[in-house]
Amino acid sequence: MSDGQLTAADVPALTAGSMLYSPSLAPSSLEATVAWLTDLLERGGPLRLVPPRALPPEVGCAAVCVIGSGAALADLPPTGDEFVSAVRELERLTGRPVAAVLPLSAATVSALVPAAVACQLGVPLLDADGMGRTFALIHHTAMHLAGLPVTPLVVAGTTGESISLRVPDAWRADALLRSGIDALGGWGALAAYPSTAGELATASLLGTVSRLVEAGRVLLGSRDPDTVVARLAAVNGCRRVGRGRIVALEHLSRPTDATIPTHPSSVVVEQVGPDHRQLRLELRSEVVAVFSDGSLTAAAPDLISLLDVERGVIAPLDSLWPGDLVDVLVIPAHPVWYSAEALSMVGPVSHGIPLDHPRRR
């Protein structure tokens, strides 16, 4: 990646980095999106990747992402015009052209799609996003914390149908969209947070797209787990909580907050080496907490990933097996996520774990 440009040669690193920041899906689920983005960049040339401050402050912008199920996206791939349609309808609703886009969340497929959309629209991709990772709900963003409205928003489906929405309270957007997304086939193309480059210069999380490429290069550049962890530490502050073998995978029966789609389960890791600690990972749609011998060691909004030690790659959460040797990695979130307001939205309590975050003790 040269200064200010994203090329087809950067797509493998962007993809690898995006899987680190949301390891819930297998890489195979991204194959169609990777091929789509690569083709656009090969045919259209490099994409401008710029910080919001590089644009005039009045330039109109929008956040773009896939909303709904990543598995549904793999089963019902886009025809190619859904995201452009969503952006054009958002322009009609706001009366302002969208001259740059950014990822709502710079992780997994929602890190790749905005680059493809920017190529289609012929506009720059902002080197910024709203989450710095991925969260379950579309108002879980730095823009929301900064006071920017999530709506009006548009969700376009593969059948040519679309949903437009305005809400006075941001948290209502997800509740109102959920049944509509199901009716569209399980996923939709979202264009939201209509704003300006000047607003996003202070309200978004900066440098997150280029950070994905840097992290992806680390993951592609070595299969030695110790080397990977050390190099990631220099990119994003990654640390290893422990190394051990998975000894149990458990599904939980206790209820969870109905406002956040979850698949509750636990992974138990017996640490190897002199410590012999037991690490228990609590999973929802991501790893939301790590307990070490019963003590809370890390929790959302920390990003918690597993590195397959024997293969030197990030282990998708849907492919874990007893006996796997893994490194439990913790990457700190952006500092904005550790405020009291942010932790109430995305911290351990929001996932049914009634404990203070380790950083707040």
The pLDDT tens digits for 250-288 are 875 554 554 444 567 899 999 998 878 999 999 988 899
pLDDT (average), residues 310-336:
94
Range list for CATH 3.40.1610.10 in the chain: 5-208
Per-residue pLDDT at 3? 66
- If you classify domain 235-360 with CATH, what class do you get? mainly beta
Cis peptide leading into residue 152 (ω within 30°): yes
Confidence band (pLDDT; 50, 70, 90) for 26?
low
Q: Which residues contact 300 (CB under 8 A, 6 or more apart)?
A: 286, 288, 289, 346, 347, 348, 350, 351
CA 86 to chain centre: 20
pLDDT at residue 164, rounded to an integer: 98
State residue 137's pLDDT score. Answer: 94
What six digits make up the tokens of 21? 């920041």
Mean of all residue pLDDT scores within the chain: 93
3-state helix, strand, coil in the chain (%, to 5): 40, 25, 35
Categorize the per-residue pLDDT at 317 as very low, low, confident or very high, splitting at 50, 70 and 90.
confident
What's the rounded mean pLDDT across residues 51-63? 98
Query: pLDDT value at position 261?
Result: 46
Determine phi and psi for 34, rounding to 5 degrees.
Answer: -60, -45
CATH superfamily to which 5-208 belongs: CV3147-like domain (3.40.1610.10)
- Here the contacts of 72-76 (C-beta below 8 Å, separation 24 or greater) are 72/185, 72/186, 72/187, 73/29, 73/33, 73/109, 73/186, 73/187, 74/28, 74/29, 74/32, 75/186, 76/158, 76/185, 76/186, 76/187
- In the chain, CATH 2.40.390 covers 235-360
pLDDT of 76: 81
Measured between alpha carbons, how far is 127 from 249 in angstroms, rounded to an integer?
A: 38
What is the tens place of the pLDDT at every residue in 105-160? 999 899 999 999 999 999 999 999 999 999 989 999 999 999 999 999 999 999 89
Q: Give the pLDDT confidence score for residue 263 in this predicted structure.
A: 61
167 has a pLDDT exceeding 90:
yes
Q: Residue 239 and residue 262: Cα distance in Å, rounded? A: 26
